[in-house]
Amino acid sequence: MAETPQGQGQETLSNLLQESRSFPPPADLAADANVQADAYDAASADRLRFWEEQARRLQWEQPWSNVLEWNPPFAKWFTGGKLNAAVNCVDRHVDAGRGDRVAFYWEGEPGDTRAITYADLKDMVCQAANALTELGVNKGDRVAVYMPMIPETVVAMLACARIGAVHMVVFGGFSVDALGTRLDDSEAKLVITADGGYRRGKPSSLKPAVDDAVRDRPAVENVLVVRRTGQEVEWNEGRDVWWHDIVDRQPTEHDAEAHDAEHPLYIMYTSGTTAKPKGILHTTGGYLTQVAYTHWAVFDLKPESDVFWTAADIGWVTGHSYIVYGPLANGATSVMYEGTPDTPHKARFWEIVQKYGVTLAYMAPTAIRTFMKWGEEYPAQYDLSSLRVLGSVGEPINPEAYMWYRTHIGGNRTPIVDTWWQTETGAIMVTPMPGITHGKPGAAMHPIPGVVVDVVDESGESVPNGHGGLIVVREPWPAMLRGIWGDPERYKKTYWSRFEGLYFPGDGAKRDEDGDLWLLGRVDDVMLVSGHNISTTEVESALVAHNKVAEAAVTGASDPVTGQAIVAFVILRSEAGDGGADMIKELRDHVGAHLGPIAKPRQILVVPELPKTRSGKIMRRLLKDVAENRELGDVSTLTDAQSIETLKEAFQESGKSDE
């Protein structure tokens, strides 16, 4: 887990970046916003009552008797209550007469489309639930889902939830090994997969990886296969079952049992930086309460008129909470897109926004910075005037990326909600509210109503305004992880041992002069330069603020003089050329001018690509290995393992001529 560089640091985390831009909510949005300022008052007056009110958005077969049982660090929410997540996401909307509303406008990468109404979804989920039962899947069994971004993936998850089986989605880009270790740890008895999916203009296979992973794992009894691409697949008679053979012949009726509020809903593995992946466990009632509330509140969702789009993969927690459970619990209409943003052209996302009239869009800063790099001419080709709220998730959004997003996607009109949360938190924790919060580029602003977040120093004391430290959560929240699958000790040690009674997410943060929150990246990545703890985020944001830089990643490399020195890797915008010595000097001076001389990088290397995880996050740990000329650590979760080798060579080359 996160280790803060100890020692001479004068403060936990320096506060270097100043930002004076601020955008009030648009008047019409503010007037009609789902959340008004009184929500914060109500929640701070009586937090548990506030969450009880939010839980009433759901349909409970049996009401809870106890809102929270808190035996630190183990929480149970809404105990005694019973509900069915699939019924909440699907059936009740149909029962309320909204069966004709579209749940998903699905867009395949090759351009094939499907519009799936809530009534369609109900039939599909019931059939799949019946099929799972026929395959011998029982309540409490684990089911692995290793799928492309197709509607059957959502159906598979909901069918599990319906019968009380625990789904464990593994991102379709992960390797055989990653799938295998997750199958072992969760002891899944069924794997649901597809022949393949479309990525970058061609079919990309999935079934062979499942075959390899399952070969020596007899615990997996069946492999259920959706036909998507029509690729040749090896068939293991007796084990493999085509989805269309077993699901399509099932009745579209299924009696759903109500499950306990604390019944496990899913396991989602976080990659884990060093040791074996952590199976983060989420349960039913509290999780669904907070994802439904935040989806409605943070995006100001009007389910009758909005078209919502989370442009992320379902194999990531963002997809679980804001493609599947939040939007469906709220009866929203969503877009789901199978492929990559540059297929068949670099404006595919914007074409989709125009085509479906997307009003609320949610994506990662890494995508936004990629669009910045490609240039504003791509979004400019499409009508994006339907958009009214834009969201960001996954990493700190650099102020310049925020400005670009707001200007070129949001038409200078839409609020941006920068939402901080984690797999472990299950749902959004810190964010502006679009109808009430003034947006500051780069700031996640405030904890949501009912969530108590603080920034503390090494000794666990709150830091004053204008100071940096570590973000913590002071009180249990409904969607919090209930543990690490099969390992309660690791749960305690990882999240609850740093500070007595406080949840420690492992991220740095600061509170600015106004008391607003800024996330500053992982504590493990903080650089200790001449006694100052400097966050990677602030230096990266300063670099991205230069008009020739599209993306930047920095890391601290050991240095005989300063302890650690800042090494930066930058990707230039397409119009910027390839960056000679003058440009490097200009960038170093620019950072110095922005943040002070202490933050000036020792070295800057212009690169074509940065090492990223499959969910698009920069792997600074590998850049540190490069900057310190070490053997590269674990590269198994990288999208492109070759790119880091190339980068390493370039770095070693540059060292020969530098300074």
- Among 422, 562, 639, 643, which residue sits at the site for ligand ATP (rule: CB under 6 A)? 422
Residues 251-290, one symbol each (x = binds Mg ion by CB under 5 A, - = not), give: -------------------x--------------------
Rule CB under 6 A: choose which of 349, 350, 420, 485 binds ligand ATP. Answer: 420
Tokens matching residue 585: 């000097």
By CB under 6 A, is residue 519 in contact with ligand ATP?
yes
Instruction: Give the nearest residue (CB) to Mg ion.
Output: 270
CB of 359 to ligand ATP, least distance (A): 21
Pick the closer one to ligand ATP by CB: 233 or 417: 417
Cα gap 645→380, rounded to integer Å:
36
- Binding-site partner at residue 611 among ligand ATP, Mg ion, none, CB < 5 to 8 Å by type: none
Shortest distance, position 38 Cβ to ligand ATP, whole Å: 25
Q: Which of residues 606-635 bind ligand ATP (CB under 6 A)?
A: 615, 617
CB of 170 to Mg ion, least distance (A): 17
Interface with ligand ATP, residue 281, by CB under 6 A: no
* 396 interface partner picked from ligand ATP, Mg ion, none, CB below 5 to 8 A per type: ligand ATP
Which one of the spans 88-96, 158-166, 270-278, 382-390 is the region binding ligand ATP (CB under 6 A)? 270-278
- The CA–CA distances, whole Å, from 30 to 41, 306, 506, 572 equal 18, 16, 34, 37
Choose among Mg ion, ligand ATP, none what residue 317 binds, the Cβ cut-off being 5 to 8 Å by kind: ligand ATP
Measure the N-to-C terminal CA separation of the chain; round to a whole number of Å.
Answer: 35
Question: Which pairs from 240-249 meet CB under 8 Å and 24+ separation?
Answer: 241/135, 243/131, 243/152, 243/192, 246/131, 246/134, 246/135, 247/124, 247/127, 247/128, 247/131, 248/127
Q: What is the C-alpha R_g of the chain?
A: 24
Those residues whose C-beta lies under 8 Å from the C-beta of residue 588, and which sit 6 or more positions away, are 600, 601, 604
The 3-class secondary structure across 81-114, one letter per residue, is CEECHHHHHHHHHHHHHHCCCEEEEEECCCCCEE
# residues near ligand ATP by CB under 6 A:
22
Cβ distance to ligand ATP smaller for residue 334 or 423: 423
Q: Cβ of 244: how many Cβ atoms within 10 Å?
A: 12
Q: Does 396 bind ligand ATP (CB under 6 A)?
A: yes
DSSP 130-182: HHHHHTT--TT-EEEEE--SSHHHHHHHHHHHHHT-EEEE--TTS-HHHHHHH
To the question of whether residue 394 is assigned a binding role by annotation, the answer is yes
Nearest alpha carbon to residue 34 among 292, 379, 402: 292
Q: Which does 117 bind (CB under 5 to 8 A by kind): ligand ATP, Mg ion, none?
A: none
Among Mg ion, ligand ATP, none, partner that 454 touches (CB below 5 to 8 angstroms by kind): none
Q: Which residue is nearest to ligand ATP (CB)?
A: 270
CB burial readout 569-578, b (16+ within 10 A) else e: bbbbbeebee
Counting contacts by CB under 6 A, is residue 180 touching ligand ATP?
no
d(CA 181, CA 58): 35
Is 318 annotated in a binding site? The answer is yes
Is residue 485 within the footprint of ligand ATP (CB under 6 A)? no
Q: Which is nearer to ligand ATP, 1 or 29 (CB)?
A: 1
Measured on CA atoms in the order 399, 594, 598, 568, is the torsion positive or negative? Answer: positive
The token pair at 489 is 């000790």
Residue 272 as a binder of ligand ATP (CB under 6 A): the answer is: yes
Distances (CA, A) of 95 to 54, 87, 291, 577: 21, 10, 22, 59
The least CB distance from residue 269 to Mg ion, in Å, is: 11
State the binding partner of 418 from ligand ATP, Mg ion, none, CB within 5 to 8 A by kind. ligand ATP
**25 vs 394, beta carbon nearer Mg ion:** 394
307 is known to lie in a ligand binding site: no
202 belongs to an annotated ligand binding site: yes
Strand pairing report for 278-283 and 333-337: unpaired
Helix (H, G, I), strand (E, B) or coil at 572: strand
Of residues 291 through 350, those in contact with ligand ATP by CB under 6 A are 316-317
* CB closer to Mg ion out of 34 and 270: 270
Residue 530 per-residue DSSP state: T
> Which listed residue (186, 419, 536, 541) binds ligand ATP by CB under 6 A?
419
Tell me which of 59, 175, 204, 270 binds ligand ATP, using CB under 6 A: 270
Check whether 111 is labelled as a binding-site residue: no
**Measured CA distances, 392 to 68, 297, 299 (Å):** 30, 15, 11
Count of residues interacting with Mg ion (CB under 5 A) = 1
Q: Identify the three-state secondary structure at position 500.
A: coil
Binding-site residues for CoA sit at 199-202, 318, 530
Binding-site residues for ATP sit at 394-396, 418-423, 507, 522
Q: Which residues bind ligand ATP (CB under 6 A)?
A: 270-273, 316-317, 393-396, 418-420, 422-423, 444, 505, 507, 519, 522, 615, 617
Binding-site residues sit at 199-202, 318, 394-396, 418-423, 507, 522, 530, 544, 546, 549
Binding-site residues for Mg(2+) sit at 544, 546, 549
